[in-house]
Amino acid sequence: MSRASERAYNNIRSMILSGELQPGSQIREEALAELCGVSRTPVRDSLRRLEAEMFIRRNDSQRSFVADWSLDDLEDAFQLRAMLEAHAAKRAASRITREQLGRLRHHNAQLKQAIDIPNPDVPKFLDHNRQFHAIIVAAAASERLASMLGQVTEQPVVLRTARQYDLENLRRSHHDHDELLIAFDKRDGEWAAAVMTGHIRRAFHAYAQAHSTDTEIRKSNLAA
């Protein structure tokens, strides 16, 4: 997609992910158009895309709202993600190349570095983590699977606490990655899938805990 359209999409998407656009709030095409400095046409394109990705919902009369996810929705997304990503790991185990394995090791070493220091570099960890998972999805060699995973991987839920970055969880994540690497090395798809399932489910519980804590904080702020 060319410039205006691309810009609108990225802008709106990041506004949703950052919480700048509040969950549940209505979205007006023209307002977004002004915010992005483009006309309504590319904004409409973006809204359709974001709707397909479930970042945005529309009511029965075509008005758009920022998706407001319940804890159930979150669990649902994570459940699907666990299933799909385990499947990806299984496929990857029999297809992954030496070169991809090497890159996997590289990113895993980097993310270990990011947390094995006095002042953990969480953004660095998250970046290498993302790339680690991306390589596995690529190795699975299924465009459809990749496209579906894209739909459940980024969660439009804003968390104000830092709990999801809990160090212990990050270390366990890294350990899972280590185990995945061995499973891939042995070409054991079942093992890889099992590790991945646990990996994602842990992520869910960390997320859910942060979510509930966050909700509590929000409520008490409201009460005050």
- Point out which residues bind DNA (CB under 7 A): 1-6, 26-30, 38-42, 44-45, 59-64
Query: Is the distance from CB of 86 to CB of 194 less than 8 angstroms?
Result: yes
Per-residue CA distances from 64 to 48, 93, 180 (Å): 10, 41, 41
Cα(first)–Cα(last) distance of the chain, in Å?
46
Measured in whole angstroms, the distance separating CA 184 from the mean position of its chain's CA atoms is 23
Q: Which is nearer to a second copy, 40 or 105 (CB)?
A: 40
Q: Report if residue 208 touches a second copy, rule: CB under 8 A.
A: no
Chosen residue from 36, 50, 135, 152 binding a second copy by CB under 8 A: 152
Question: Using CA atoms, how far apart are residues 103 and 175, in angstroms rounded to an integer?
Answer: 17
Question: Using CA atoms, how far apart are residues 15 and 65, in angstroms rounded to an integer?
Answer: 13
Q: Which is nearer to DNA, 65 or 165 (CB)?
A: 65
> One symbol per residue from 26 to 65: x for binding a second copy (CB under 8 A), - otherwise; what is it?
------------------xx--xx--x-x-------x---
Q: Which residues bind a second copy (CB under 8 A)?
A: 1-2, 44-45, 48-49, 52, 54, 62, 73, 76-77, 80, 83-84, 87, 142-145, 147-148, 151-152
